[in-house]
Structures are given as structure tokens and as C-alpha cells.
Amino acid sequence: MHTATTDVWRWLSEIPDPEVPAVSIVDLGIVRDVRHGADARLVVTVTPTYSGCPATEVIANSIREALQDHGVADARIEMQLSPAWTTDWLTPEAKEKLRRYGIAPPAGLAPGERAIDASRILRYRPADDGVTCPRCGSARTELISGFGSTPCKALYRCVACREPFDYFKPH
């Protein structure tokens, strides 16, 4: 029996990201595809946020558990590293969920081809478009550290409300 892929997408949209539980793995764009393979087996394609992400195995196990909970025992999970995940894949809902959770979503688009410029790899540059405080909405913010609670975030402080907050860096 074929499981409807729309059902699978719905189930996967209920799996929280292990590092930012306010958003699902579907909201983040980590789940790239759900299909049935030539052997009729369900295949879920996942692109981790970066190839060394420590949460990759946790995400794969969460997918397996969710599928098993819905009676799908023999699904295959494929890791797809190319194209590399980008914050451009975040859904508008994910950006709003991040904001409500207290994390400023990425401002603008990921740097794209400029990302291979070694000067961009070696150090973090603050967002060109400015970072809005997710707590009070002020654009008067300042970079505290290029590294936040996880490698994909930077630490900012709002000048208006004085609260520190994470910023999900575009990449």
C-alpha cells in the first residue's frame, strides 16, 4: 500500500528541529523531497543545514520514528548535500516562528556565489540590511559576536530594549 506523500509531508511538518524547536524540519527546508522509489518504498530526501551538523542523525531518527508511528516501517532516508542548504529555503512561516521564539530571522538573501570568497568564510559580517530585534521590533541593534548559541547564529543586542538575541545568519 502506498502512503500518500501529502500525509508524509504533514507528519514531517510536526517534527521540531532539535536545535530550534519552534520550527519544524519542513519549515526550515531541510526536507527536500518525499516520493516513492522504483521499488515502491517511501523515500525522504533531507539536506542538513551543513554537512557537519551534529543534529543530522537526530533528525533522521525523528523522521524514522514519525513514519513508524504512522505505520511506515521500511522508508529510506537519503542525505542530499548538493545543492547545499541555504536560509533562502526557510518558509515565511519559519521566519515568523523564529521571530516569535526570540530569534531574528535572516535579513535578505543568502550571499550565494560570494560565499566562496575566503574573506566571507573566515569571519562573519553583520547583515547589510540590518537586524531587527525580535522582541521590540527596533532596527537599532548591534553585533556582539559573530557566533551565537549554534554555528548558524550570531549574537546581537538591541540598543532600544537592551535585550540580547540570536540572529539566524543567512548562508
Give the model's pLDDT for residue 129.
58
> How far apart are alpha carbons 47 and 78 in whole angstroms?
9
Higher pLDDT: 170 or 25? It is: 25
Residue 88 in any domain: the answer is no
Report how many domains make up the chain. Answer: 2
Q: Could you tell me the CATH number of the domain that includes residue 45?
A: 3.30.300.130
Segment 138-149, tens digit of pLDDT: 999 999 998 888
Compute the average pLDDT of residues 97-106: 95
Q: Do 71 and 11 share a structural domain?
A: yes
- Is residue 121's pLDDT more than 90? no
Same domain? For 69 and 110 the reply is: no
Q: Does 12 share its domain with 75?
A: yes
Q: Are residues 166 and 104 in contact, defined by beta-carbon separation less than 8 angstroms? A: yes
Report if residue 111 sits inside a domain: yes
pLDDT at residue 29 tops 60: yes
Helices (H), the chain: 5-12, 56-69, 92-101, 118-122
pLDDT band at 2 (very low <50, low <70, confident <90, very high): confident
Residue 104 shares a structural domain with residue 74: no
- Taking the CA atoms of residue 88, residue 89, residue 93 and residue 98 in that order, the dihedral angle to the nearest 10 degrees is -70
Over residues 10-35, the mean pLDDT reads 95
Let me know whether 75 and 128 are in one domain. Answer: no
The domain containing residue 15 runs over which residues?
Answer: 5-79
